[in-house]
């Protein structure tokens, strides 16, 4: 019995998600696939796909522009990562390196993304150096990515005010959000992907959804 309890304790001590390693494929300037895992790079925030900015007097898609630069630098190379968190989309949030170089540091220092100081000051000085030198995004006129997302994150209201519980599908499974939950306002329901509205928690649970933790 004692041996069984010790074994269970050792299993619980290991993380649920192994640290990813493998060939890197770029999704956007702060999100990559590594060894089959979707990884959100820790400590940086890149412009969204479709986010406009003014560069050299021309309006461009800054998200695609930054992603293309990251892709040219890292695509197809072997990366090793250390997982630091799991985000609300089920992605591993990790620091990663290629050939001993910290990918996040390279991206921020080149001005292809900004330091995400809300979570860490890890790349604060790298961003400041890029800003002073006018590298990458710092040579453009661009709205901060987080501010840009916030301006676009007001989700449509429920078609029926009496059925306002949001049944969302993410990497964490089928989760329902009630008004007042932390992520309720920014959760958008895409019925084409199987997401739906519920009129009660009992209805949501019966359909296979579970309650959001926050």
CATH of the domain at 132: 2.40.50.90
Q: Do 134 and 191 belong to one domain?
A: no
Assigned domain for 202 exists: yes
Q: Do 29 and 124 belong to one domain?
A: yes
Q: Do 91 and 116 belong to one domain?
A: yes
Q: What angle do CA 31, 144, 126 make, to 5 degrees?
A: 70
Q: What angle do CA 105, 24, 76 make, to 5 degrees?
A: 110
Q: Do 87 and 112 belong to one domain?
A: yes
Q: Do 129 and 36 belong to one domain?
A: yes
Q: Do 57 and 115 belong to one domain?
A: yes
pLDDT of residue 15: 47
Spatial separation of the C-alpha atoms in residues 5 and 8, rounded to whole Å: 5
**pLDDT of 85-139, one tens digit each?**
998 888 999 999 999 999 999 999 999 999 999 999 999 999 999 999 999 999 9
Dihedral over Cα of 55, 69, 151, 195: its sign: positive
Number of domains in the chain: 2
pLDDT of residue 62: 94
Q: Do 144 and 192 belong to one domain?
A: no
Q: How far apart are the first and last CA of the chain?
A: 36
pLDDT of residue 9: 47
Q: Which stretches of the chain drop beneath a pLDDT of 50?
A: 2, 4-15
Q: Do 91 and 120 belong to one domain?
A: yes
Three-state SS at 193: helix
- For residue 201, the enclosing domain spans 165-211
pLDDT of residue 204: 95
Assigned domain for 137 exists: yes
Is residue 208 left, alpha or beta, with left meaning phi > 0 and alpha meaning psi from -120 to 50?
left
The sheet that has 210-211: what strands, in order across it?
196-198, 165-170, 173-177, 210-211
Q: Do 145 and 169 belong to one domain?
A: no
Give yes or no for a contact between 17 and 83, defined as CB atoms under 8 angstroms apart: yes
Closest CA to 99 of 76, 121, 124: 76
pLDDT of residue 16: 57
Assigned domain for 42 exists: yes
């Amino acid at each position: 019995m004692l041996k069984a309890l010790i074994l269970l304790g050792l299993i619980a001590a290991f993380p649920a998600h192994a640290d990813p390693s493998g060939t890197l494929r770029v999704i956007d300037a702060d999100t990559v696939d590594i060894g089959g895992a979707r990884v959100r790079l820790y400590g940086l925030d890149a412009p969204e796909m479709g986010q406009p900015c003014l560069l050299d007097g021309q309006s461009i898609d800054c998200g695609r522009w930054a992603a293309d630069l990251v892709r040219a630098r890292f695509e197809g190379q072997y990366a090793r990562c250390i997982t630091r968190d799991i985000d609300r989309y089920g992605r591993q949030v990790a620091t990663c390196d290629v050939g001993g170089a910290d990918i996040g540091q390279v991206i921020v220092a080149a001005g292809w993304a900004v330091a995400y100081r809300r979570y860490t000051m890890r790349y604060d000085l790298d961003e400041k150096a890029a800003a002073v030198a006018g590298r990458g995004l710092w040579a453009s006129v661009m709205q901060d990515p987080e501010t840009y997302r916030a301006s676009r994150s007001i989700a449509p209201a429920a078609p029926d005010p009496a059925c306002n519980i949001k049944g969302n599908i993410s990497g964490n499974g089928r989760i329902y959000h009630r008004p007042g939950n932390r992520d309720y306002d920014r959760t958008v329901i895409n019925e084409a992907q199987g997401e739906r509205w519920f009129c009660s928690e009992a209805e949501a649970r019966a359909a296979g959804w579970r309650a959001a933790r926050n």
